[in-house]
């Protein structure tokens, strides 16, 4: 309603103004509109007040909230959005739950991310920075999981550049060389208990490739593919068990050398442990070596200045001489 203005006439009691009844009706109409705006038609609200620069709203507890504005430098227009239902103003320090909000260029100091039951939270906190840093999230084509430092997780489709792996457990993986050519390494299935141990070394020492695991005895097999063989691109040598005295037992190293330059020398060759095991015995001296053992050709191998090449036969449990017919090798 437009405010009703009482006509007071041109001068006092000149009869040109509103009558007392008409003026009273205008007063009633003006007050009725004020009452309806700030209460009911008959009673003003007891919880809303105005002072010189604030609106005071009293709660059911009796305490009041003052609504005012900071000193503005220019006129502004603030829009309160409409939404059906009960809503609340968002305050800078009150504990509130925000829904359906878009934060543009937001600064998050210590955000909390609740779990599914909302009784525990992830606290996200950054380290002290010397300058601003940008974290770029990948363009995902589906749901995914964040990778953390200590949590046990399985990584898929990852390229590790200049990676350092401490005590890795490798069950089967694809390895690329420098030209991105695939080298595939896989296990043989089942419960894995044995594995390949590669031992590094300091300056002047050899590097070892050794089977390892819970089994006591394990073969190391090198195989080519199809009708191809295992090729050694450099020198090939046998590990040596060097003997300089008589009456010793030979080790399981493939090559035993014995050098005795006086009298009769003896040695003992233990049985082999696997079909096809190779053994070379080299007499470097000028006197005969008598080697006792399980031989197909006799009880003792009589070796003059020569090299005997033997191979273990599991069926007969005997060593067989490969270079049979050598003039400096005989049996007794």
pLDDT at 277: 96
- Tokens for 90, please give them: 């968002």
pLDDT at 171: 61
Query: Nearest Cα to 320, choosing from 311, 328, 329, 307?
Result: 311
Give the pTM: 0.52
- Tokens for 198, please give them: 């590669």
Residue ranges in the chain modelled with pLDDT below 70: 169-190
- List beta partners, residue 257: 242, 282
Angle ∠(230,235,237) on CA atoms, nearest 5: 90
Number of other residues whose CB lies within 10 A of the CB of residue 246: 16
Query: Nearest Cα to 256, choosing from 284, 298, 296?
Result: 284
Distance separating alpha carbons of residues 217 and 277, to the nearest angstrom: 15
Query: Nearest Cα to 58, choosing from 48, 50, 72?
Result: 48
Q: Residue-wise over 56-91: b if at least 16 C-beta within 10 A, else e?
A: eeeeeeeeeeeeeeeeeeeeeeeeeeeeeeeeeeee
CB contact at 8 A, 94 and 88? no
Q: Spell out the domain ranges in the chain.
A: 1-66, 240-331
pLDDT at 180: 56
pLDDT at 183: 46
Please name the fold of domain 240-331: Jelly Rolls (2.60.120)
């Amino acid at each position: 309603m437009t405010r009703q203005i009482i006509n007071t006439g041109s001068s006092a009691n000149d009869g040109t103004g509103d009558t007392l009844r008409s003026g009273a009706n205008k007063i009633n109409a003006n007050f009725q509109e004020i009452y309806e705006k700030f209460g009911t038609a008959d009673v003003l609200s007891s919880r809303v007040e105005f002072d010189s620069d604030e609106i005071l709203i009293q709660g059911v507890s009796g305490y009041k909230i003052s609504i005012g504005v900071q000193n503005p430098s220019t006129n502004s227009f603030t829009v309160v959005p409409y939404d059906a239902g009960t809503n609340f103003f968002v305050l800078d320090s009150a504990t509130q739950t925000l829904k359906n909000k878009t934060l543009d260029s937001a600064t998050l100091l210590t955000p909390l991310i609740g779990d599914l039951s909302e009784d525990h939270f992830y606290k996200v906190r950054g380290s002290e920075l010397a300058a601003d840093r940008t974290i770029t999230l990948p363009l995902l084509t589906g749901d995914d999981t964040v990778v953390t430092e200590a949590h046990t997780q399985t990584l898929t489709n990852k390229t590790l550049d200049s990676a350092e792996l401490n005590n890795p457990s490798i069950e089967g993986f694809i390895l690329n060389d420098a030209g991105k050519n695939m080298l595939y390494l896989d296990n043989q299935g089942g419960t894995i208990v044995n594995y390949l141990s590669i031992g590094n070394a300091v300056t002047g020492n050899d590097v070892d490739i050794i089977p390892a695991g819970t089994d006591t005895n394990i073969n190391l097999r090198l195989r080519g593919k199809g009708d191809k063989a295992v090729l050694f691109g450099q020198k090939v040598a046998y590990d040596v068990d060097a003997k300089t005295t008589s009456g010793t037992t030979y080790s399981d190293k493939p090559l035993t050398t014995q050098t005795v330059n006086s009298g009769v020398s003896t040695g003992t060759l233990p049985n082999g442990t696997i079909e096809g095991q190779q053994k070379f015995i080299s007499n470097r001296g000028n006197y005969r070596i008598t080697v006792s053992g399980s031989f197909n050709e006799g009880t003792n191998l009589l070796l003059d200045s020569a090299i005997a090449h033997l191979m273990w036969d599991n069926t007969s449990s005997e060593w067989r001489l490969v270079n049979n017919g050598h003039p400096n090798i005989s049996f007794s």
